[in-house]
Chains A and B, each alone.
Chain A
Amino acid sequence: MKPGVAFLLAGRSLLRHRVRTGLAMLGIVIGIAAVICMVALGQGASAMVQAQLDAMGRNLLMIWPGAASSSGGFSFGGGTTVTLTPADGDAILEEVPSVIAVTPVERTRAQIVNGDKNWYPNNIYGVSESFPNVRSWPVDEGDFFTEREVAGSAKVCLIGRTVADNLFAEEGESPLGRSLRIKNVPFKIMGVLRPKGTSSFGTDQDDVVVLPWTTCLNLLEGSSFDNIDQLLCAADKPENIDRAIAEITEVLRARHRLTEAEPSDFRIYSMAEMAATSVQTADIMSRLLAGIASISLLVGGIGIMNIMLVSVTERTREIGLRLAVGARGRDILQQFLVEAVMLTGVAGLIGMGLGAIVSHVIANAQSWPLEISRPIMLLAAVFSCAVGVFFGLYPALRAAQLDPIEALRYE
């Protein structure tokens, strides 16, 4: 039988029993819609975590000084050694090929003042000119400071959007070129950093002042040493992060003259590592929900099988007649199979539309990000047809194996 004819027959027969067809479809419609919703919302959640990760800089490596201990074995806790220096950073940049940028980070907290207003930002960072590169954190207005300002301990700074809003918003003009005072030292504002939003740990990343690390150490902290709180490195690509960690370890151990028996006096974390857990959680949730939703699809499929079996029994005489006028077993098989696939295929399309609408509604109501990907739509279409084939096959085989004489005589 030509496929066109099979579709014609299937369409006619489905239209003959509109109510039954509609009800049989309903199960598949709900099943597919549920799967689409769950996967869309799950992927949305996972995308949200990924976006937060990207905001931090996906290739980011953080190096912290290790724990210092007194000769008596009294540990002072992480970050208490004073061995990590900007020179370590230069060495890493030079000797580890997969690290493309490094900045020291010296963190301090202090009150900042503009005229009669003051603010206490979350963080004051002393960094090098590579900071925007390392943190993938571009400047919105103005420019970042250069090597020259770092070398000369220049009294310049950049501020985050939150700081700008709190100190300069009312004056209605750009903070660019203005100055603010930190510990009574005036700093010229060179630029405003692009807003980054809340970090995955819940802190406002834009509540920040950034200035040269030399200025931070010498002027704000009054230190005459150049050990720093942290080194931030950017790897060239995420795949190279593990190798970069190994190589950095080697470089730093050599520079710090550690023997093989001694533990490292620093710790290296990667952003990817820290975020992997939350991405994994989102993935597991999304799969779990899709799994639950596919149970409704299975139930819908059983409904289809039931309807098709009823339909074969009810149409036994019709099948006998078709066999008598020259239909072969495979023509009958094809007719019923196409009917089942048409049923589930159309139901699948409706379900996809419904799923898209419902997930948009949920996404809007809950301000939950949503991602309906083309592969999942394609998969849903293929899967709904596959449900038709799978659950339609047995009834169709029963129809095809009927004996024409018995079928014609069936009451």
Chain B
Amino acid sequence: MAPDDIIVLQDVAKTYRMGEVDVRPLQGVSIAIRRGEFVAIQGASGSGKTTLLNLVGCLDRPTSGHYVLNGRDVSRLSRDELARVRHETFGFVFQNFALLGRTSALDNVEMPLLYGNPPPARERKERARAMLERVGLGERMTHHPGQLSGGQQQRVAIARALVTRPHVLLADEPTGNLDTHAGADVMKLFLELNREGLTIVLVTHDSAVAAQTARTIHVSDGRILEAAA
């Protein structure tokens, strides 16, 4: 394990029962992602890429194998401990934006800061405001999601993911619901953030999107096909 590896999966498998059958979305996956990398996980629908992202994001625990995050084995942590790891380590961006309806962009971005050890209200607002300005939405703070375009909504979601100052940004098909132009904007923002030193792991089925990242991990039938640097 290299010293600057932030995410290390060692022979990780996931199995769960669905009625009478065992489903094995992941079967013995090993990956190492270094600090500051921009990695795409690419695969067809049902390949296990989303399960992989859930495991990496500590939303789920592996059935077997080990996951070492920032030098700490997190594969057997409790629900609450995982929540804390997620809060301190990751920012999530989803395909459907997952913004709270009828809630201003500012309140949406502030939301993650309410958990863990919440800073005082004024600092929360200040950080949320700064993040919205960072993603270019300084003029839209009081707008509700319904009053924003898809691209703007996804940028609010990115601001929300970044407001906790995460080590890793995890994005699940971030451009999937956007038109080409807005999708390109979002990718441009990701590349900028990565240049500033943020580690980004992005899941996509779209090879054009994957091609913009420095490294692509191909997943098929629950296995890694290629992990070229």
Q: Do A325 and B92 touch (CB < 8 A)? A: yes
Interface-central residue, A324, A325, A328, A408, by most chain B CB under 10 Å: A325
A9 to chain B: closest residue by CB: B114
List, in ascending order, chain A residues with CB within 8 A of B112's CB: 325-326
Q: Do B98 and A321 touch (CB < 8 A)? A: yes
Kindly list the 8 A-B residue pairs having the minimum CB-CB distance in the complex, ordered from nearest: A326-B87, A325-B112, A328-B83, A326-B115, A328-B80, A327-B115, A16-B102, A321-B98
List, in ascending order, chain B residues with CB within 8 A of A329's CB: 79-80, 83
Q: Do A327 and B102 touch (CB < 8 A)? A: no
- A151 interface contact, C-beta 8 A: no
Q: For the complex, what is the distance from the CA of A228 to the CA of B220, rounded to whole Å?
A: 114
Q: What are 8 pairs between A and B in contact, CB < 8 Å? A: A16-B102, A323-B59, A325-B92, A326-B86, A326-B115, A327-B83, A329-B83, A404-B59
List, in ascending order, chain B residues with CB within 8 A of A322's CB: 111, 115
Given contacts A5-B118, A317-B98, A328-B80, 17 further A-B contacts (CB under 8 A): A1-B114, A8-B114, A12-B103, A321-B94, A324-B59, A324-B92, A325-B87, A325-B112, A325-B115, A326-B88, A326-B116, A327-B115, A328-B84, A328-B115, A329-B80, A331-B115, A408-B59
Q: Mark B82-97, 1 if CB is under 8 A from A, else 0.
A: 0110111000101000
> 8 Å CB contacts to A: which residues of B95-133?
98, 100-103, 107, 111-112, 114-116, 118
- Shortest A402–chain B CB gap in Å is 11
List, in ascending order, chain B residues with CB within 8 A of A117's CB: none
Q: Do A16 and B103 touch (CB < 8 A)? A: yes
Q: For the complex, what is the distance from the CA of A278 to the CA of B84, rounded to whole Å?
A: 65
- A405 interface contact, C-beta 8 A: yes
- B30 interface contact, C-beta 8 A: no
- A374 interface contact, C-beta 8 A: no
Partner among B80, B83, B98, B160 whose Cβ is within 8 Å of the Cβ of A408: B98
- Shortest B196–chain A CB gap in Å is 21
List, in ascending order, chain B residues with CB within 8 A of A331's CB: 115
List, in ascending order, chain A residues with CB within 8 A of B107's CB: 12
- B54 interface contact, C-beta 8 A: yes
Q: For the complex, what is the distance from the CA of A330 to the CA of B83, rounded to whole Å?
A: 11
- Cross-chain pair count, CB within 8 angstroms: 63
- Shortest B4–chain A CB gap in Å is 25
Q: Do A326 and B84 touch (CB < 8 A)? A: yes
Interface-central residue, A1, A317, A320, A328, by most chain B CB under 10 Å: A328
Q: For the complex, what is the distance from the CA of A331 to the CA of B87, rounded to whole Å?
A: 13
Residues of B in contact, count (CB < 8 Å): 27
List, in ascending order, chain A residues with CB within 8 A of B101's CB: 16
- B60 interface contact, C-beta 8 A: yes
- A148 interface contact, C-beta 8 A: no
Interface-central residue, B79, B83, B98, B103, by most chain A CB under 10 Å: B83
Q: Do A326 and B118 touch (CB < 8 A)? A: no
Q: Do B118 and A328 touch (CB < 8 A)? A: no
List, in ascending order, chain A residues with CB within 8 A of B164's CB: 325-326
Q: Do B118 and A1 touch (CB < 8 A)? A: yes
- A226 interface contact, C-beta 8 A: no
> 8 Å CB contacts to A: which residues of B165-223?
none
- Shortest B11–chain A CB gap in Å is 22
Q: For the complex, what is the distance from the CA of A323 to the CA of B94, rounded to whole Å?
A: 14
> 8 Å CB contacts to B: which residues of A305-331?
317-318, 320-331
Q: Mark A239-263, 1 if CB is under 8 A from B, else 0.
A: 0000000000000000000000000
List, in ascending order, chain B residues with CB within 8 A of A324's CB: 57, 59, 86, 92
A15 to chain B: closest residue by CB: B102
Q: Mark A321-360, 1 if CB is under 8 A from B, else 0.
A: 1111111111100000000000000000000000000000
List, in ascending order, chain B residues with CB within 8 A of A321's CB: 94, 98, 100
Q: Do B86 and A325 touch (CB < 8 A)? A: yes
